[in-house]
Amino acid sequence: MRQRRIGSFSVSSIGLGGMPMSIPGRKDRDTSIATVHAGLDAGVTLIDTADAYTTSTDGQGHNEILIAEALASYGADTSQVLVATKGGLLYADPGPWVRSGQPDYLTVAAKQSATRLGVETIGLYQFHRPDPEVPYAESIGALNDLVAAGVIRHVGISNANVDQIREARGILGDDLVSVQNQFSPAHLDSRAELELCAKLGLAFLPWSPLGGIRRAGDLADDHAVFGEVGREVGASPQQVALAWELSLAEIVIPIPGASQPASITDSAKAADLELSAEQLARLGA
């Protein structure tokens, strides 16, 4: 698969989001493991998880444990796979998830994530969502300390606005390597953040790049042009959406979620999908 960069890592231009495998309504464990294996078979070397991807009965870290188990059981070398995880949210049923940006909490959460993932150092650790009760600089400062302590290698931030990206950059310098925000044909509000990431050389990781778990299958119904272009090039509307996102900047690395092998196998094909300038213009109109 074509590669893009996150800090010092070269990763597949399409990643795999692990959330659907662990939240309520998920598939069985064997199907989830098979989904991760299918992603690896397709060339995916970026897997995105979080300690908050779980249910009220499983406790923090269900998805991290699942991803670690899937990698261990793959039967081939997975040393080039970057598992990016996140901290700063606690699962709550029925929701919303509880934010916790306290430095002491993030320090403990990162160390617990490393244990669940079975690594000494987490390659990419992301602050999941700003906590309005804690100054942003304090939360980011905790991640800076975790880098210095060798618990994490690179830092990412998620659900961040332009000002927060600049603030985090000022604290972390080159240790800040990525921003993960919602972005898709249905959610274009993070275009300014994407453009800032391109300017700063930060990877931009769209979460829910197909519109979300409940809407991904209806993408062509909601945005007809993606179905039209898909028919022109012999690809699914979902592949077209991911290819369009990849075309926006070299720093974009979509992380579509998946809960069954067919989904990530289809998404991975977007990395090699060539769209004409005219088609891209129609998609972006």
Say how far apart CA 26 and CA 245 lie, in whole Å. Answer: 27
Provide the pairing of β-strand 82-87 with 9-12: unpaired
Residue 256 carries which DSSP code? -
Say how far apart CA 103 and CA 98 lie, in whole Å. Answer: 15
The residues that are catalytic are 53
Check if the beta carbon of residue 51 is closer than 8 Å to that of residue 87.
Answer: yes
**Residue 209 preceded by cis peptide, ω within 30:** no
CB within 8 Å of 222: residues ≥ 6 apart: 185, 186, 211, 215
Kind and range of the H or E run holding 16: strand 16-17
CB within 8 Å of 173: residues ≥ 6 apart: none
Q: Residue 217 is which amino acid?
A: G
Residue 245 neighbours by CB distance under 10 Å: 24
| Summary count for the chain: helices (H), strands (E) | 11, 11
